Amino acid sequence: MTPVLAKAREENLDNVEATVGRGEDTVLCDGCADMVFFGIVLHDFDDAARVLTNARKMIKGSGTLVNVDWKKESTDLGPPLEIRFSTEKATRLIEQAGFSAEPPHDTGPYHYIILAKP
């Protein structure tokens, strides 16, 4: 049992499931998610466009996609600059997957956030 799942059970949250898989190959449900959250990971997938397409399948029509990621700037922290997504690239990928993205916002010196609706 994963630590997250163990904590959920400890808190009597019986509707939490843990699934291990590749984002490129995973669609957990059809239109069931209120939110899909990518926390500084979108740049790490082998095929971010496919992952976003899968997220679009899972999210409700009233849901929200949240993407927080590293700015494409050289910093002492974080992944190598060459694998980071610019806000323009991330927005383009999100919109190509069928979302309507709001303009990106800075969330501090290292990260940006993009919110999007189906």
- Tens digit of each residue's pLDDT (9 = 90 or more) over 56-92: 999 999 999 999 999 999 999 999 999 999 999 999 9
Q: Are 5 and 16 in contact (CB under 8 A)?
A: yes
54 inside domain:
yes
Q: Does the residue 7 lie in any domain?
A: no
CATH number of the domain encompassing residue 93: 3.40.50.150
- At residue 17, the pLDDT reads 78
In the predicted model, what is the mean pLDDT of residues 3-29?
Answer: 87
What are the structure tokens assigned to 91, written together? Answer: 């927005």
The residue that leads in pLDDT, 112 or 8, is 112
Question: What are the tokens at 15?
Answer: 């509707």
Tell me the one-letter amino acid at 115. L
Considering only CA atoms, which of 8, 67, 63 is closest in space to residue 35? 63
Q: Is residue 60 domain-resident? A: yes
pLDDT band at 21 (very low <50, low <70, confident <90, very high): confident
Give strand ranges (E) for 8-51: 33-39
Q: Which domain holds residue 97?
A: 29-117
**17 assigned to some structural domain:** no
* Number of compact structural domains in the chain: 1
Mean pLDDT over all residues of the chain? 94
Domain annotation covers residue 3: no
